[in-house]
């Protein structure tokens, strides 16, 4: 028996020796990071930041490919259908955890079809209105909306996105009747609120603060538990008139489910180095973002908890896909 087992044991040892070596050779060609959101938004910006530094660390190009549409569904489905070899990755956000309960007919399920790789960062949002809106505080804006039910609009980058859900949560908690206007991406929503076609929008502080400082929009509240160091003069929504309100946007990386574990773990280790680097921390703090660092297992648990949290909020708010 020992004579027959020896060749088998030798084969097992040779395979186990090859797998780590093979993972160390990853990547041997360019890697795509698909961003299922419009160019210029936080997901696109931070995908490029992380991709550039992965390229520097791993010696192969990390190509950012924006594929917006369907509230992130189109680009995400493209990743789900990609080969699970580590050469196609997904830049995702809490849009994806919201969509698990908001969109029932998606062609994929997040934790069935994807492997958690690593979170990247999170940031608060800011509620802004066009300068033509006759309200200079959140309480004044709430009173205005209540005086004109179903007449005012708020923009979002699409169903299920953090901007949409922040608006729906605001509507539910403040008791407002304001019309949701979904766009195919944040760029279009931003363009129209700057042009006055819509009156209100929740957007990431990282991208909207310059417009506020330039006087192009009025900021009525930020969405964290405490005031943002980027716009310290702006009260939180909870402080300004809707007690208990809180909403953020966070970003992360996932891969098709069957992507080899050694590749997933290597990407996790490299991304954690990037986001916890002092350069990233300092630069992101000035933009209103904070790094997130977790193991693959911890990130998987975080995703499960976020899916459950947003399922409750979707139910309470009555949010629907428009």
User: What confidence tens digit (pLDDT) does each residue in 183-227 have?
Assistant: 887 889 999 999 999 999 999 898 899 999 999 999 999 999 999
Q: What per-residue confidence (pLDDT) applies to 7?
A: 52
Domain 124-240 has CATH 3.40.190.10: yes
Rounded distance between C-alpha atoms, residue 128 and residue 146, angstroms:
17
Domain 29-122+249-317 has CATH 3.40.718.10: no
Rounded distance between C-alpha atoms, residue 181 and residue 204, angstroms:
17
Q: Which of 232, 244, 219 is closest to 141 using CA atoms?
A: 219
Query: Is there a contact between 39 and 187 (Cβ–Cβ < 8 Å)?
Result: yes
Long-range contacts of 105-109 (CB under 8 A, 24+ apart): 106/73, 106/77, 107/73, 107/77, 107/80, 108/76, 108/77, 108/80
Q: What per-residue confidence (pLDDT) applies to 21?
A: 52
Q: What per-residue confidence (pLDDT) applies to 322?
A: 53
Please indicate whether the domains covering 29-122+249-317 and 124-240 agree at the CATH topology level.
yes
User: What confidence tens digit (pLDDT) does each residue in 267-286 have?
Assistant: 999 999 999 999 999 999 98
Q: What per-residue confidence (pLDDT) applies to 260?
A: 98
Task: Please give the helix or strand (H or E) that residue 255 lies within, else none.
Answer: strand 248-256
Q: What per-residue confidence (pLDDT) applies to 197?
A: 97
What does the block give as tokens for 132?
A: 């033509």
Q: What per-residue confidence (pLDDT) applies to 40?
A: 86
Q: What per-residue confidence (pLDDT) applies to 16?
A: 46
**Weakly modelled stretches of the chain, pLDDT under 70:** 1-23, 322
Q: Across the strands, what pairs with 32?
A: 63, 88
Residue-range domain boundaries for the chain: 29-122+249-317, 124-240
Q: Across the strands, what pairs with 202?
A: 127
């Amino acid at each position: 028996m020992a004579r027959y087992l020896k060749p088998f044991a030798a084969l097992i040892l040779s395979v186990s020796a090859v797998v780590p070596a093979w993972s160390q050779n990853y990547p041997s060609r360019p890697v795509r990071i698909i961003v299922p959101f419009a160019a210029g938004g936080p997901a696109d910006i931070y995908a490029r930041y992380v991709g550039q530094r992965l390229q520097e660390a791993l010696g192969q190009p990390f190509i950012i490919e924006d594929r917006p549409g369907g509230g992130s569904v189109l680009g995400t489905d493209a990743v789900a259908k990609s080969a699970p070899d580590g050469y196609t990755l997904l830049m995702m956000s809490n849009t994806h955890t919201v969509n698990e309960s908001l969109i029932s007919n998606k062609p994929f399920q997040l934790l069935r079809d994807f492997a958690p790789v690593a979170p990247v960062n999170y940031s608060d949002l800011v509620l802004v209105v066009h300068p033509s809106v006759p309200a200079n505080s959140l309480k004044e804006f709430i009173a205005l909306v209540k005086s004109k039910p179903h007449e005012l609009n708020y923009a979002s980058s699409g169903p299920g996105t953090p901007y949409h859900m922040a608006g729906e949560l605001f509507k539910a908690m403040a008791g407002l009747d304001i019309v949701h206007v979904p766009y195919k991406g944040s760029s279009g929503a931003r363009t129209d609120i700057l042009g006055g076609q819509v009156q209100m929008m929740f957007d990431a502080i990282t991208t909207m603060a310059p417009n506020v400082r330039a006087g192009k929009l009025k900021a009525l509240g930020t969405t964290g538990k405490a005031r943002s160091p980027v716009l310290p003069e702006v009260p939180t929504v909870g402080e300004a008139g809707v007690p208990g309100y809180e909403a953020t946007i966070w970003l992360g990386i996932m891969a098709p489910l069957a992507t080899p574990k050694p590749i997933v773990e290597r990407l996790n280790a490299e991304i954690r180095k990037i986001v916890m680097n002092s350069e990233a921390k300092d630069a992101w703090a000035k933009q209103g973002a904070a790094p997130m660092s977790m193991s693959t297992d911890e990130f998987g648990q975080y995703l499960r908890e976020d899916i459950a949290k947003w399922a409750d909020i979707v139910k309470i708010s009555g949010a629907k896909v428009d």
